[in-house]
C-alpha cells in the first residue's frame, strides 16, 4: 500500500523500519517513566506503603536464594476492595506458576481481611497480567 501511495521503493522498504523504531523508542519512554515513578513512590519505601498500613501487604517469591517475583496488595477503604499491585516475575522464571502463587496470596489476603473484591491495577498493555487474572478467576 505504501508503494502505491508514494511510488517509492525506498520509502516502502524503510516505512516498517521507521515504524518499528518509533514504537521501540515510545515504548521505552513509557516504561522508563513508569519505572521512574514507581522508584520514587511506593517502591522507594515498601514498608511505609505496604507493610505498616492495615489492609496492605507485600510478598516476595524466593527460589534457590534469589528473588524471582513480587506482588503487593493495597487496601482501599472507600469501596472495601484490595488492589493487586506491582506484580512482577523475573523473565527467567516465568511459566513456572510463580505469578499464580503470588496472585493466590493476594486473593487469600483479601478473604482473610474481609475485602469485597480484588481489583487488578493494570493497563491493556500488560497482557500477561490480564491472562493471569483470567487463570485465577478474576475478570480480565
**What is the overall mean pLDDT for the chain?**
83
Check residue 101 and give its pLDDT.
97
Each residue's pLDDT tens digit, 6-65: 567 777 777 788 888 888 877 778 778 777 777 787 889 999 999 998 999 999 999 999
Check residue 24 and give its pLDDT.
80
Rounded to whole angstroms, the Cα distance separating 9 from 85 reads 47
Check residue 67 and give its pLDDT.
97
Q: What is the mean pLDDT of residues 91-104?
A: 96
φ, ψ (nearest 5 deg) of residue 81: -120, 165
Residue partners of 92: CB distance under 8 A and separation at least 6 = 68
Checking if the pLDDT of 110 tops 70, the result is yes
Checking if the pLDDT of 3 tops 70, the result is no
CATH class of the domain whose range is 45-135: alpha beta
For residue 2, count other CB atoms closer than 10 A to its CB.
14
Check residue 2 and give its pLDDT.
56
Q: Where are the domains of the chain?
A: 2-39, 45-135
Amino acid at each position: 500500500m505504501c508503494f502505491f501511495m508514494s511510488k517509492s521503493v525506498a520509502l516502502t522498504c524503510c516505512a516498517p523500519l521507521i515504524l518499528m523504531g518509533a514504537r521501540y523508542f515510545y515504548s521505552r519512554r513509557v516504561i522508563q517513566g513508569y519505572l521512574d515513578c514507581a522508584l520514587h513512590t511506593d517502591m522507594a519505601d515498601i514498608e511505609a506503603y505496604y507493610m505498616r498500613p492495615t489492609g496492605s501487604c507485600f510478598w516476595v517469591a524466593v527460589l534457590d536464594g534469589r528473588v524471582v517475583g513480587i506482588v503487593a496488595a493495597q487496601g482501599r477503604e472507600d469501596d472495601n476492595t484490595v488492589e493487586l499491585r506491582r506484580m512482577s516475575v523475573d523473565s527467567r522464571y516465568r511459566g513456572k506458576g510463580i505469578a499464580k502463587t503470588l496472585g493466590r496470596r493476594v486473593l487469600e489476603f483479601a478473604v482473610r481481611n474481609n475485602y469485597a473484591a480484588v481489583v487488578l491495577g493494570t493497563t491493556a498493555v500488560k497482557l500477561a497480567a490480564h491472562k493471569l487474572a483470567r487463570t485465577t478467576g478474576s475478570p480480565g
